[in-house]
Structure 1
Amino acid sequence: MRSEDAAVLDDPVGGSLRCHHTALARRLGRADTYLPGVATFCAVPRDPDATDWADLARLLGRDGFADLFSCRATPPPDWEPVFALDGRQMIWTGDRPVEPRAASGDLVELSATDVPEMLDLAARTQPGPFWPRTHELGTYLGIRAGGNLVAMAGERLRPPGWTEISAVCTAPEARGRGHAARLVRALVSGVLSRNERPFLHVAETNTAAIALYDRLGFESRTQVTFRGFRTP
């Protein structure tokens, strides 16, 4: 892989909002964010000026939440810090076989009718931000047991040439059965089938997930810090 092929992953939110997710984006000047209910991720230029921050504040409104994801720029001092979380970005290396989606017979593709269950599962397992319209970002797959949704994973950010795998979660009562691995393999297969490459983000403290992704064929590309702020 050439280094320039992955350079877009330095700003995956901005790359997504200006490419595959333009229909789900709001923009003012050089500031971008998602429509309400889809995601709270925001993007500004690599070296934002006062106008860029002011435009983002106008997009979000007073006391709005700005999830700057892995953006390294620092907002003005009157923006209130909400959280900071160390993590890493991992990319698919392609050195392991991928299980075709067809081989996973009980995997189902989730849709708008499944949103209440998806929101409930996300609330119970805390895989990361998940909102009523997050499923519109890409394909989401689930596993059901006894009619109940017990595991899911899906596609989130889509900068040019890449697709992020996200919301990988399993209900406590269904863990230890390989659901997460099967879901990720199926999603990887789908991403590769359209000539894109999978990537993902994971909290640095989630050592079990990091080990799983390593076994499935991902490798660490860079360390990141996820940060959130409140606008003045």
Structure 2
Amino acid sequence: MDLAALDNPFWGSLTGPHAAWSQGSAQARRYAPGFTPLLGFAQADAPDFSALTPLCSVGERFYCKAWAGDAPLGWQVLLEAPALQMVWTAPLPSNPPPAHARPLGPTDQAAIEALVQATQPGPFGPRTREMGDYWGVFEEDRLIAMTGERLHLGHLREVSGVCSAPEAQGRGLARALIETVVRAQLQRRQTPFLHVMASNQRAVRLYEHMGFRTHQSLLLRVLAKT
């Protein structure tokens, strides 16, 4: 299993399968406005922000892999936090999708945005759903749980957007939707991976119990253009 691309996953996705949705140069790129606000750099430990400055608006916030040193002129570090990068190591999940689960499409956009607003699952833009396949569970015509895909590294595919409405938690919906996404990825001969904040031990334990294992620890930064 070749996991080398996971050392610089944002860059690999922005310059690989998602290149058509990215903007920038041979040294630095961002997802186009509307997609997940991520930055990637050819040299993640020495990022060159010069090409991004004219492509980013004042006040825009982005996530990227941290580096040693301060923010460059015109940028501000708002947050730095440790995260875990986890890779699927278990067999193909055998459980069926949860009842009432179905793929999410353009007509579900309002429901997706409402759930994201209520649960804050991490960086999520109005076009993030287009970055991969998303599944959701509806109850009384309301989206109560969702999981999908974000970074695309070819043979490696990220599981992301995992969220459940407060009243839907504890029912196993997140796990079932993750297994639905993982199953499809494995059937495409892709290796599933995900990122989780190291402080979210409840999620870490769930992912470990399901079959994910920590590949590496990394620091993430939230930056704003000033």
Common topology (TM > 0.5) = yes
Equivalent position SS for 2:112 = helix
2:54 aligns to what?
58
Counterpart pick for 2:164 among 144, 149, 170 = 170
> Displacement of 1:160 after TM fit?
2.7
Counterpart pick for 1:111 among 105, 110, 123 = 105
The AA in structure 2 aligned to 1:194 is R
Q: Provide the alpha-carbon RMSD of the alignment.
A: 1.9
Relative to the length of structure 2, the TM-score reads 0.92
Inter-CA distance 56–36: structure 2 relative to 1 (3 Å threshold): same
The separation in 2 between residues aligned to 1:91 and 1:144, in whole angstroms, is: 28
The separation in 1 between residues aligned to 2:162 and 2:182, in whole angstroms, is: 13
1:228 aligns to what?
222
Counterpart pick for 2:63 among 42, 49, 67 = 67
The separation in 2 between residues aligned to 1:37 and 1:112, in whole angstroms, is: 14
The separation in 2 between residues aligned to 1:221 and 1:48, in whole angstroms, is: 19
Q: Does residue 33 of the first structure (1) align with residue 27 of the second (2)?
A: no
Q: Does residue 193 of the first structure (1) align with residue 187 of the second (2)?
A: yes
Q: Does residue 136 of the first structure (1) align with residue 133 of the second (2)?
A: no
1:22-57, CA deviations, whole angstroms, 9 ceiling, x for partnerless residues?
12111234211111011110111216768x321121
Inter-CA distance 14–176: structure 2 relative to 1 (3 Å threshold): same
> Is this contact kept in 2: 1:142–1:152, CA < 8 A?
yes
The AA in structure 1 aligned to 2:4 is A
Note the residue ranges of structure 1 that are not aligned, 5 or more in a row.
Answer: none
Q: Does residue 219 of the first structure (1) align with residue 213 of the second (2)?
A: yes
Counterpart pick for 1:42 among 35, 39, 43 = 39
The separation in 2 between residues aligned to 1:47 and 1:131, in whole angstroms, is: 23
Inter-CA distance 47–124: structure 2 relative to 1 (3 Å threshold): closer
The separation in 1 between residues aligned to 2:66 and 2:55, in whole angstroms, is: 17
> Displacement of 1:73 after TM fit?
5.8
Paired positions, count? 225
Inter-CA distance 47–82: structure 2 relative to 1 (3 Å threshold): closer
Equivalent position SS for 1:227 = strand
1:99 aligns to what?
94
Note the residue ranges of structure 2 that are not aligned, 5 or more in a row.
Answer: none
2:200 aligns to what?
206
Counterpart pick for 2:77 among 54, 78, 81 = 81
> Is this contact kept in 2: 1:15–1:160, CA < 8 A?
no
Relative to the length of structure 1, the TM-score reads 0.89
Task: Report sequence identity in percent.
Answer: 34
> Displacement of 1:171 after TM fit?
0.6
> Is this contact kept in 2: 1:100–1:189, CA < 8 A?
no
